[in-house]
Amino acid sequence: MNSEPQAGVRLQKYLASAGVGSRRSCEELIVAGRVRVDGVRVTELGTRVDPGAQTVELDGRPVRPERLRTYLADKPRNLMCTSHDPEGRPTIVEWAARMGADPRLRLYTIGRLDYESEGLILLTNDGELAHAFAHPRHHVEKEYRAWTDLFATRDQIAAMLAGVEDDGEVLRALAVVPEASRPGRPPSLRIVLGEGRNRHIRRMLDVLGLRVKRLRRIRIGSLSESDLRGKPLRELAPAEIDRLAAAP
């Protein structure tokens, strides 16, 4: 058996490091036949390339490494967390460019916030960073403030911590803290998740008879709203990304 390491880098890893997308999305591009190496279509995921000696193209356009950049953003409501929406709804990538992100970058989100939700989200062109965050062992805590139509009871809070079932999934919170309500304002909860499923908080509260009137993410790991420094979007320094990536 030949134990010598193979030359070059895996094609999907090179595409991700060049800012094309997450490693998983790059694998889908390869399988779909949209990538060519030296003019030859490649569909095998194990293919290795030498970027210094070979030409890699996506949809006929050369793929060259971009400067890797990651932004912390305060997503407004009524934005899609995609780069393009077939229904023509506004996207966070379009919004980010207006807020000062480099419009030349192929940005995408790490994780999602649904259309109606708002708050902190990461935008990046670093496919390896996105891949690391997608790994099952890397559950970064995320904290939310949920405004509801009714006050949550002790039993309802206990159920969130124990986990409730919806559509075959168990939806659970790591921590739930009721906040003091001001006169004329809806009650609110601070909810911490270890892993987030699709519409996790809305579905969890709905099962318990609580309707979410507004939902805002206020923390991602070590990053909180104050880290935006009063801006809607800010590029993170390498040290900030390292701290976030090192979180258990």
3-state secondary structure of 224: strand
Eight-state DSSP code of residue 76:
P
Q: Under a CB-based contact definition with an 8 Å cutoff, are residues 117 and 77 in contact?
A: yes
The residue from 74, 85, 114, 227 that is catalytic is 114
Closest CA to 119 of 24, 206, 35, 191: 191
Q: Which helix (H) or strand (E) holds 12?
A: helix 11-17
CA distance 178 to 186: 12
Residue 56 identity: V
- For residue 65, how many C-alpha atoms fall within 13 Å in the half-sphere facing its CB? 10
59 catalytic? Reply is no
Which active-site residues does the annotation give? 114
